[in-house]
C-alpha cells in the first residue's frame, strides 16, 4: 500500500520531547515531513505566513510559554484555513479542565506523555495506525 505523505506540525517547547518524537517517528517508520514550532505564537506565524506546507496533522503540547496549546487551538479553530486540521494533544497535563477544553475544541485525541520511551514509542505507533485508517 502506498503511504500518502502527511505534513505534520509539532508544537512543543521541550527539546527532549522533540527529540523523542523524532526518534519515535523513525522507529515507527513514519516518513512524513515533521515541522517544529516551539510555542503557539511561532506555530501561528508558520501557518499564517505559509513558512511550512499546510499540515494535515498537528501534535500539540498544552503547557508552553508565550501562547499555550488551548489558546493556539482556539485561534486555529476560528480560522477557515486551519479549522479542519487534525490536532492531537500530547502533554503531561492530566487536568480534567485541559482535557475538556481540548475536546471542546475538536481535538482528534488527547495523549498523556508517558514517562518511559517505550510507552511513548507505543503512543506514536498508535497515532500512525490512526492516520493510516483515516487515509483509507
Structural domains present in the chain: 8-135 (3.40.50.2300)
Handedness of CA 43, 49, 53, 55 (dihedral sign): positive
Q: Supply the pTM of this predicted model.
A: 0.86
Grid cell, residue 67, equals 501562547
3-state secondary structure of 48: helix
pLDDT, one tens digit for every residue, the chain (136 residues) = 445 678 999 999 999 889 988 988 888 888 889 999 999 999 999 999 999 999 999 999 998 989 999 999 999 999 999 999 999 998 888 888 889 999 999 998 888 876 566 777 777 777 776 666 655 4
Amino acid at each position: 500500500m502506498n503511504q500518502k505523505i502527511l505534513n505534520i506540525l509539532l508544537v512543543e517547547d521541550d527539546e527532549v520531547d522533540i527529540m523523542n518524537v523524532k526518534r519515535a517517528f523513525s522507529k515507527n517508520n513514519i516518513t512524513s515531513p515533521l515541522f517544529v514550532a516551539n510555542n503557539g505564537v511561532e506555530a501561528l506565524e508558520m501557518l499564517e505566513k505559509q513558512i511550512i506546507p499546510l499540515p494535515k496533522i498537528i501534535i500539540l503540547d498544552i503547557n508552553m510559554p508565550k501562547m499555550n496549546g488551548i489558546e493556539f487551538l482556539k485561534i486555529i479553530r476560528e480560522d477557515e484555513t486551519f479549522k479542519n486540521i487534525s490536532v492531537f494533544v500530547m502533554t503531561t497535563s492530566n487536568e480534567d479542565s485541559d482535557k475538556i477544553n481540548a475536546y471542546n475544541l475538536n481535538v482528534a485525541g488527547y495523549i498523556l506523555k508517558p514517562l518511559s520511551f517505550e510507552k511513548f514509542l507505543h503512543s506514536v505507533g498508535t497515532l500512525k495506525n490512526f492516520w493510516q485508517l483515516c487515509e483509507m
